Amino acid sequence: MANIILLGPPGAGKGTQAKRLVEGRGMVQLSTGDMLREAKTSGSEMGRKVAAVMARGELVTDEIVIGLIQEKLTGHAGGGFIFDGFPRTLAQADALGALLAEMGQSLDAVIEMKVDDAALVARITGRYTCGGCGAVYHDQARPTKVTDVCDECDSTNMVRRADDTEDALRTRLLEYYKKTSPLIGYYHAKGALTSVDGLAEVAVVAAAISKALGAAP
C-alpha cells in the first residue's frame, strides 16, 4: 500500500485528512504529535522531558521523534503509512528515507497542504478533539452535531490542546517556516511533491489528495 507524508503548518488539516484516509483506505496514521502527547499522559520519563518543549511550541529533538517512528514502523511491514507531522526537519526526512528503504518500502507521495497564517490562527484557536476516538472538530467550521458529544463515538470527553494558544502557535509557526518548510523544496527536488489548497472544504481537500494518490493501492 502507498506511503505518504502530509506536510503543512500546524492547523493545515493534516490530522483531519489522515483520519479520512484511515477510514476510506485502511491506511495507518502515524502522528508524532499524538505519540508525544500519549507519552506525556502516560507520565513516562520521555513524556516528562518533552512536555515543556511542546507547551512552548518548539520542536522535540530529532533523536526522540525518529525513535518513536522507528518503533511504530517495526511490525507493520505492509506499509500504507500516513506520516502526519513527521518529518519536520531535513534530518528527520533523511532518517525516514533510510528507514523505509531498509523495509523495502517507498515514499509514494508528499502532499503539501497550503493554508495562510490568518486561517491557521482561527483553526488552531477553535480546535477541539474527542478524547475517546480522536475525531477533530472546530467551534465554527466543524462543530459536533450535539454540543460536546462526539459524532463518531458518543464520548462527551472533548479535549483542547495546551499548545493551541495564540502564543504557542506563534512559536510553532516560526519553527515550521524555519525548520520544516525547507522540506517542500527537498521533496519537490525528488519529484514527490503535490501541493493542495488546504483552505478548501474538507471534502474538496480530500478529493485533491485522492487525485494525488491516483491509482495507488
Q: Does 169 bind ligand AMP (CB under 6 A)?
A: no
Instruction: Choose among 5, 11, 1, 6: nearest CA to 119.
Output: 11
Contacts (CB under 6 A) with ligand ADP, residues 173-202: 201-202
Q: Does 87 bind ligand ADP (CB under 6 A)?
A: no
For residues 127 and 179, which CB has a smaller minimum distance to ligand ADP in the complex? Answer: 127
Instruction: Using CB under 6 A, pick the residue from 22, 100, 133, 136 that binds ligand ADP.
Output: 136
Q: Which amino acid appears at position 133 of this protein? A: C
User: Checking phi first, is residue 190 left (phi over 0); if not, alpha (psi -120 to 50) or beta?
Assistant: alpha
What are the DSSP E strand ranges found in 32-108? 81-84
CA separation (Å) from 22 to 149, 164, 168? 22, 24, 29
Instruction: Choose among 105, 110, 111, 108: nearest CA to 79.
Output: 105
Identify what 179 binds: ligand AMP, ligand ADP, none; CB under 5 to 8 Å per kind: none
Q: Does 88 bind ligand ADP (CB under 6 A)?
A: no
What binding mask, one character per residue, do residues 142-161 give for ligand ADP by CB under 6 A, x or -?
Answer: x-------------------
Q: Active site includes 142?
A: no
Task: Locate 56 and state its grid cell.
Answer: 512552548
Site residues for ligand AMP per CB under 6 A: 10, 32-33, 36, 53-54, 57-60, 65, 85-86, 88, 92, 163, 172
**Active site positions, annotated:** 14, 88, 127, 161, 172
